[in-house]
Amino acid sequence: MSGERVFLRLGATATWLERDGDEDQGRSLALDVGSASTAQRFFRGDLPTPLELERAIDHVEDELMRAVAWTAGRSTLVADHPLVRALAQAEGPAGAVLTREVVEGLFQRLASGALGDPSALRGLPAGKEAAATLLILRELMHHLGFSQVVVAPPSPGAALP
């Protein structure tokens, strides 16, 4: 898996991606999307409306377009973020790896909740930051071609750029 991984550092106001095994100067990339800033900018309540989700998706997609070539050929995203870990736990004890399909299913549950089905939200982490985290993760995986996210510490002693 070495050389194929991209470490996700999801912050409150920005997201950093760092390529594993890349000695070039372009090893990390900062994106102007964060869990708290996305939640604050687009979601009025703890459960976003369908229109709020669409607007947030548009914003995140626009920002991710800068990273398409940068992440080319990399299939595994690695994250150690409390809300990503909570999403994995929503899938049960074997949730240390989330496939793109599983993340899409979690997002569909959020969307169903936004459309008025509260039972779809059962087990998902609550709150608008959790919704923003799921949305960002889903868009990262979908648009940048990641097939899975491994929920584990990215690297010992790593700090945000």
Predicted confidence at residue 93, as pLDDT, reads 66
Predicted confidence at residue 160, as pLDDT, reads 45
Predicted confidence at residue 24, as pLDDT, reads 62
pTM, two decimal places = 0.89
C-alpha to C-alpha distance for 106 and 83, rounded to whole angstroms: 13
Per-residue confidence in pLDDT tens, the chain, 161 aa: 445 889 999 999 999 999 877 666 668 899 999 999 999 999 999 999 999 999 999 999 999 998 998 888 788 999 989 999 989 888 766 568 999 999 999 999 999 999 999 999 999 999 999 999 999 999 999 999 999 999 975 444 444 44
Q: Which domains does the chain have, with CATH numbers?
A: 5-151 (3.30.420.150)
Cβ of 106: how many Cβ atoms within 10 Å? 21
The full length of the chain comes to 161
Predicted confidence at residue 39, as pLDDT, reads 98
Beta strands in the chain (DSSP E): 5-10, 15-19, 28-31, 76-79, 97-99, 148-151
- Cβ pair 103, 137 in contact under 8 A: yes
Predicted confidence at residue 112, as pLDDT, reads 98
